Structure 1
């Protein structure tokens, strides 16, 4: 009898499970600072993974005049331009978000409205600078 009384009076505890990546991307609305934080991590991984390609291009450009001409020929390919654009956009995003994190670490923009404003400014500055780099890379100006 006492077990039946305990079963009736016991509350159901909430069940917590790990959130899957698809839930984060499609079902859960992240606030702006959360999106900037994820962008900062993704751009850091992108820069780390593409570091051998970056170093190879740097090595090619610095060896000799002949290698530099070879480097300019490689950089003229559209696929390589897209790869260089991805690296540059990743660097710009990582740099801007890193500056934002420095402000947060110094408690200059730690409250919620300031964090939202700095996150929005990171996204705007990243988009504008990336657009300028893309236009310059593809020869618009």
Structure 2
């Protein structure tokens, strides 16, 4: 076999910071990144938002009333909505990864479909909980 007849192998390199916004990931890649982002968001918000609100809600009836007044602010509701999305996306993507660990849906087409399902279900559930949070019913 002659070395001059073979094509050079393509080289894949890491992308630079300037290329991040123009890089097109498949849905499975986006789902993976959002799974990590939502996990980090939940982990970091635990001592800053979730535990303090929980402590206020169970201390006394007066502290529950103050927590209720605090969370009635639209900006606080927006933060809670982001946390709701983070939890729901992390939960749905986690179920997706558990099925992949069981070797279910590992082919490319199934992986893309399950990633789309994760986005659809988590956003639909976030919409339902968001409507409830903002007082639609």
Match of 1:49 in 2: 44
TM-score, normalised relative to structure 2? 0.87
Q: State how far apart, in whole Å, the 2-side matches of 1:32 and 1:13 are.
A: 27
Gaps of 5+ in 2: 1-7
Alignment deviations for residues 66-125 of structure 1 (CA, whole Å, 9 cap, x no partner): 111111111111111111111111000100000000000010111111111110100100
Q: Which runs of 4+ in 1 moved over 6 A?
A: 12-15
Give the structure 2 partner of residue 87 of structure 1. 83
> Considering only CA atoms, is the larger Rg found in Structure 1 or Structure 2?
1
Q: Judging by fraction of residues, say which structure has more helix.
A: 1
Count of residue pairs brought into register by the alignment: 130
Q: Mapping of 1:1-141 within 5 angstroms?
A: 17-24=13-20, 26-52=21-47, 53-141=49-137
TM-score, with length taken from structure 1? 0.85
Question: Is there any run of 5+ residues in structure 1 with no aligned partner, and where?
Answer: 1-11
| Aligned-partner Cα distance in 1 for 2:114–2:105 | 8
Q: Secondary structure at the match of 1:27?
A: coil
Q: How far is the alpha carbon of 1:40 from its aligned partner?
A: 0.3
